[in-house]
Structure 1
Amino acid sequence: MKKEDCFYLGKIVSKYSFKGELLAKLDTDEPDLYDNLDAIFIDLRGNLVPFFVESSQLHKSDLLRLKFEDVDTEADADALIKTELYLPLDLLPKLEGDKFYFHEVIGFTIKDTNFGEVGILQSINDTTAQSLFEIDRDGIEILIPMNDEFIVKVDRKNKTIEVNTPEGLIDLYLEE
């Protein structure tokens, strides 16, 4: 299994018991979707290694208590702390309407209600306080905040996202 065929589920943050149980912080708004997993891929030194789940249950709000097969001691569990968890993309719940996963809209055409076609979505920058659409318009990078108020429509069939940005925002990038 390659990383590009998977999505990041979360990270193991601590041991839970003396029997090899671990707590993982999940990167999701709906942790209960991942309560009954059979297996999880763990990134060990750049390789995704499958671990079979003996038992799992939600612990507090966004932590998942995990017991893996063949992880039976504190030492076994210690070796997995701070490792990242991945699942195959086909296990992602399907989103509908104007909700989307970042990876699924890369390459979509961005159209603005007033401006018209803006360009092609190259990536999404989520390292800033507000996530940004990074759009390529003939070699010029245009950044549009991923604000729910700006996103008018996500059209998966035609691979377009319609936005309605404040007047002049796109022009700022195009003025020489």
Structure 2
Amino acid sequence: MKLPRLAEIGTIQRTHGVNGELQLIWTVSFDPEEQTLESVFLTIDGIPVPFFVESLRSKGDGSSIVTFEGITTKDQAQELINSKVYAPVKKTDGKSQPYSEDLVGYTVITPDGVKHGTITHVEDFSGNLVFQVRQETGNHTLIPANPDFIRNVDEDSRTITMDIPEGLP
């Protein structure tokens, strides 16, 4: 069985109530009110095991309450505490959409092919993602990771083609 490419999205912190609910702490920017998540993978004995999400609601503090199919008691839920949570890299229209943390190491280029630099870190400023890019000169610049600026993400060449906003070095 070939596993999908996975990206870490959070950690199970603790149980919530007695009906198998769990508190999930997000390590990526995710809003269950605006996005859906049908399934995730948790590592159990070092092996990624799929879990189907039955319900997911935001707590508003960078965490959510999640219920997995088949996990109905507090005892079952306790077995999952401290598990890392992974999600498959999403595919839309045949194009792979990596999570922002997967983009570290990608080269940012302009539409005319000019290399701007390499992403060294992804910052989250109150839900606004920003790429920290190291230029060939060694200087760092911050570029908003706004979907309107991103034209293409090429996983094979590890490049992101972006319209760089005017005024950025």
- Pick from 91, 96, 101 the counterpart of residue 95 of structure 1: 91
CA separation of 1:140/1:58 partners in 2, compared to 1, >3 Å: closer, same or farther?
Answer: same
Which residue among 99, 108, 111 is the counterpart of 1:110?
108
**How many residues of Structure 1 are paired with residues of Structure 2 in the alignment?**
146
After TM superposition, the structure 1 = structure 2 runs for residues 1-176 of structure 1, keeping only pairs within 5 Å, are 7-12=8-13, 14-17=15-18, 21-25=20-24, 27=26, 28=30, 29-34=35-40, 40-41=42-43, 57-58=54-55, 63-66=65-68, 67=71, 71=75, 77=78, 84-87=82-85, 92-96=88-92, 97=95, 99-113=97-111, 116-137=114-135, 138-170=137-169
Give the structure with the larger strand fraction: 2
Describe the superposition over 1:19-47 as per-residue Cα deviations: whole angstroms up to 9, x where unpaired.
7x23334745322223xx6xx348xxxxx
> Normalized per residue, which structure has more helix?
1
Q: TM-score normalised to the size of structure 1?
A: 0.60
- Distance in 1 of aligned mates of 2:51 and 2:112: 54
Q: Using the aligned pairs only, state the percent identity.
A: 18
* Partners of 2:107 and 2:158 within 8 A in 1: yes
Q: Could you tell me which residue of structure 2 aligns to residue 173 of structure 1?
A: none
Distance 2:53 2:103 in 1: 32
CA contact (8 A) 2:123 2:129 kept: yes
> What do residues 115-161 of structure 1 show as CA deviations (whole Å, max 9, x unaligned)?
92111111111244411111111310011000111111112222111
- Cα distance change on mapping 1:105 and 1:147 into 2, 3 Å: same
Task: Output the CA distance in 1 between the equivalents of 2:51 and 2:110.
Answer: 49
Contact 2:7 2:99 in 1 (8 A): no
Superposition RMSD in Å: 4.0
5+ residue gaps, structure 2: 1-5, 59-63
Q: Secondary structure at the match of 2:146?
A: coil
Cα distance in 1, alignment partners of residues 15 and 23 from structure 2:
7
Give the structure with higher Rg (CA).
1
- Residue in structure 1 matched with residue 61 of structure 2 by the alignment: none
Tell me the TM-score normalised to structure 2 length. Answer: 0.62
